[in-house]
Amino acid sequence: MKILVIGDVTSPAGVEHLSRELWKFRGENGIDFCVVNGENASFVTGISPELAEVLSRAGADCITGGNHTMRNKRIYGYLDEREDIVRPLNFGDASPGKGYTILDARGYRVLVMNAMGNVHIDPTLDSPFSAIDEALKDAEGKYDLSILDIHAEATGEKLAVGYCYDGKINVIFGTHTHVRTDDKKILPHGTGYISDVGMCGESGGILGMDAECVVKRMKSHLPHPFVAADGKCVANGVIFEYDITSKRVTKITSVDF
């Protein structure tokens, strides 16, 4: 199976880019299942139900979240209603929605989990490790392959998650920093891993934002409003090729489109 994961969508323009390009890319590359991190789709204010719908129609089989997901209260009911969108597991049971879901791909049951790190990230949630353990226990026997989006700032924390669940989760990819890392690897027990997938949005600035406004904020420490970068939209992604028989990832490829 070919599993495509796409990094944080940073703006409505990134959503529109995927609505134009994703199905075409899937067809050209034989993608069986696609996960998109959509937590910034409304441009630093979470994701709206309308943009989530566009991403789903665009070819995202599952939408994952992160630290900004809960900033848009309009998504709360959508999180409760839909099976194809998840928020971090460790937001807890009192939060709307769920941290994992099981979806179909070519007749196989795909477990998709979303967890958030707690190193240098706000809000600070409970341990992602205990939340992942609980989800795996709860879903035991109900899935054929598993995917985890670990939304975190610290690469060391993401790597710790990768090695902890090597052989227990089939695909582990990191999101949040908007910069794709060059450390994709197949871990010793067959798990495919990368610390960060990157982003989908306007290029040419700083993490999807206009460079000048980001520099002003950092130099002055004043709340200058964010402005989207003015470059063309690009989607950063990674394709994991997974062998159903051996239960191992056999190849990992970085892609941009």
What single letter denotes the amino acid at residue 254? S
The pLDDT assigned to 224 comes to 79
C-alpha closest to that of 63 among 25, 114, 27: 114
The pLDDT assigned to 213 comes to 86
Of 17, 68, 151, 176, which is the active-site residue?
Answer: 68
146 is written with which tokens? 């598993």
pLDDT grade for 162, boundaries at 50, 70 and 90:
very high
Note the pTM of the prediction, 2 decimals. 0.95
Highest mean pLDDT (candidates 118-122, 189-193, 206-210, 223-227): 189-193
Tens digit of each residue's pLDDT (9 = 90 or more) over 83-101:
999 999 999 888 999 999 9
Tens digit of each residue's pLDDT (9 = 90 or more) over 9-19:
999 999 999 99
Q: Where do we find the tokens 């599993």?
A: 3
CA atoms within 13 A on the CB side of 101: 22
pLDDT grade for 246, boundaries at 50, 70 and 90:
very high
pLDDT grade for 73, boundaries at 50, 70 and 90:
very high
For 142, 155, 192, 225, 246, the CA distances from 230, given in Å and listed in that order, are 45, 28, 34, 15, 45
Least confident of 43-52, 153-162, 164-173, 184-193: 43-52
Q: What is the mean pLDDT of the chain?
A: 96
The pLDDT assigned to 202 comes to 95
- Give the residue, 208 or 63, on which the prediction is more confident: 63
Note whether 249 and 190 are within 8 A (CB). Answer: yes
With a cut of 90, say whether residue 195 has pLDDT above it.
yes
- Give the residue, 193 or 228, on which the prediction is more confident: 193
CA angle 215–219–225, rounded 5-degree value? 55
CA atoms within 13 A on the CB side of 49: 11
Say whether 68 is catalytic: yes
Peptide bond into 123 cis (omega under 30): yes
Helix count and strand count (H, E) for the chain = 6, 13
What single letter denotes the amino acid at residue 53? E
Interatomic CA distance for residues 184 and 116, integer angstroms: 20
Q: Calculate the CA 242 to chain-centre distance.
A: 18
pLDDT grade for 44, boundaries at 50, 70 and 90:
confident
With a cut of 90, say whether residue 135 has pLDDT above it.
yes
With a cut of 90, say whether residue 26 has pLDDT above it.
yes
With a cut of 90, say whether residue 209 has pLDDT above it.
no
We find that the CATH architecture of domain 2-202+230-256 is: 4-Layer Sandwich (3.60)
For 103, 121, 164, the CA distances from 27, given in Å and listed in that order, are 20, 36, 34
Interatomic CA distance for residues 85 and 72, integer angstroms: 14
- Residues of the chain above pLDDT 90, percent: 87
